[in-house]
Amino acid sequence: MGVKVISPGLSTTVQDLGRHGFYHLGIPMGGGMDMFALRCANLLVGNDEGAAVLEAVYMGPELEFTSDGLVAVTGADMPFRLDGVLQESWARCAVRAGQRLSFDYLKAGARVYIAISGGIDVPIVLGSRSTYALGSMGGFEGRALKADDLMPVLCNTDNSATSGRNLPPNYRREQSATTELRVISGMYMHRITEESRANFFSDVWKVSTEADRIGYRFMGGEKFSFLEREQPFGAGSDPSNIVDTCYPYGSIQIPGGAEPIVLHRDAVSGGGFAVIGTVISADMDLIGQLQPNMETRFVEVSMEEALVARKDRQQLLDRARQQLMN
C-alpha cells in the first residue's frame, strides 16, 4: 500500500515515538508532539504503538490511497472526509484504493495524527522514522511532505478488519479556556527575584506565534527581574545568560528575561540561557495542541505531584489500550 500526497497542508511530517539515546550528542528525541494521540491512532488501525504516522499542524493534508487498508485520525478537532464524506475521528475507517482523504477547517487543538494500517515505511535513522527537519534527518527525505510525494506503507497482514472501532470521548483530554501547565522549579530559579517568581506563576500567558516542534514561546506576562551578580567566566553579559548547561525536555528558558520558552520535541539539548523550571511530562502533550493566543498559566508542583500525574497519565493510556485491543 502507498499514499500519494495531493496537497501537504501547512506542515505535515512523518513521526513516531522518537529516537532515544542520542540527546547527549545534540540530537533531540523528536517524535510526536502529542504522544497519546499518536499511540491511539496506531492502536485503532492495529499497528504497533510506535509505528510511523503523519503529524499535521493547523491544516490537514489531502491524501490519495493506492490500495485498500485502514486509517484513523486522532488529536486535534479537525474533521476529515473520505471522498467528501465526513468520517468519525478517533475511530477506525476502512479505505479503498483510489479514495482521497481530506480535512475541514481546524476547530480545536493544533495537531492531528493520521495512522495507516501497516505504518509509514520510510528509512529508520538512529532507531526512528521521525522527521527532524532542522537536521534534515529521518522521515520522508528529512523534510515536511510536498505535493506528489509517494510514501510506501508497510504491509498489514490483517485484511479482514473493518470500520467501527473507536475511542470514546471520555478518554480524550479536553482543553479549557485557560490551559494549566504544571511545572517543577528549575536549578536557575534562584536567578530571578521573588516578585518575578510570583508573577510567573500568577500571570496569564498567551501562546506566541513562535510555537513549533522546537519550542513554544509565551507572551503577555510581566518581564522577569534578575538578582545582581558578577558575570561568570564563560557566560554572556545578559542577566539571563549562564555558563552552558543541559536542557531537559520541557525546560523553560527566559532569554533576555522577556518571555518564557518551553522546549519541545525538536529542541536543542543545551545552551547558555537560565532554565527556571520544567513542564512535567504529563502535560507536554497539552502543549502540542495549543494554538497561538491561547491563554495559559504555569502551576508549580512538587516532584511527588509530578510523579502522581505521570502515573495517572500512564493509567489512562493503559485503559485506552484495553479499550482498543479488546
Closest-CA residue to 73 (of 22, 116, 129): 116
CA 154 to chain centroid: 24
pTM over 0.85: yes
CB-based contact 153:116 (threshold 8 Å): yes
Q: What is the pLDDT of residue 182?
A: 98
**Cα–chain-centroid distance for residue 294?**
16
Residue in the structure block whose three cell numbers are 486509517: 71
Beta strands in 166-267 (DSSP E): 178-185, 205-211, 215-219, 241-246, 251-253, 261-263
Say what the pLDDT of residue 172 is. Answer: 85
**Per-residue confidence in pLDDT tens, the chain, 326 aa:** 689 999 999 999 999 999 999 998 889 999 999 999 999 999 999 999 999 999 999 999 999 999 999 999 999 999 999 999 999 999 999 999 999 999 999 999 999 999 999 999 999 999 999 999 999 999 999 999 999 999 999 876 555 556 668 999 988 887 788 999 999 999 899 999 999 999 999 999 999 999 999 999 999 999 999 999 988 888 889 999 999 888 999 999 999 999 999 999 999 889 999 999 999 999 999 999 999 999 999 999 999 999 999 999 999 999 999 998 77
pLDDT of 191: 93
Which pairing describes strands 178-185 and 295-300: parallel, antiparallel, or unpaired?
parallel
- Reading the block at residue 182, the C-alpha cell is 504544571
Cβ-contact 315, 309 below 8 angstroms: no
Cell 545552551: give the residue: 271
Q: Look-up: residue for cell 555558563?
A: 243
Q: What is the DSSP secondary-structure string of 46-80? A: T--TTS-EEEEESS--EEEESS-EEEEEEEEE--E
What is the tally of helices (H) and strands (E) in the chain?
4, 20
- Taking the C-alpha atoms of residue 72 and residue 115, their distance in angstroms, rounded to an integer, is 5
pLDDT of the residue at 160: 53
CA dihedral 155, 157, 159, 161 (to 10 degrees): -110
Specify the amino acid at residue 231: Q
CA atoms within 13 A on the CB side of 14: 33
The DSSP code sequence of 100-154 is EEEE----EEEEEEEEETT-B----BTTB---BGGGTBSTBTTB---TT-EEEB-
What distance in Å separates the CA atoms of residue 223 and residue 58, rounded to the nearest whole number?
29
What is the C-alpha to C-alpha distance for residues 105 and 119, in angstroms, rounded to an integer? 25
Q: What's residue 161's pLDDT?
A: 58
Count CB atoms within 10 A of the CB of residue 104.
12
Torsion of Cα atoms, 282 then 285 then 287 then 289, to 10°: -150
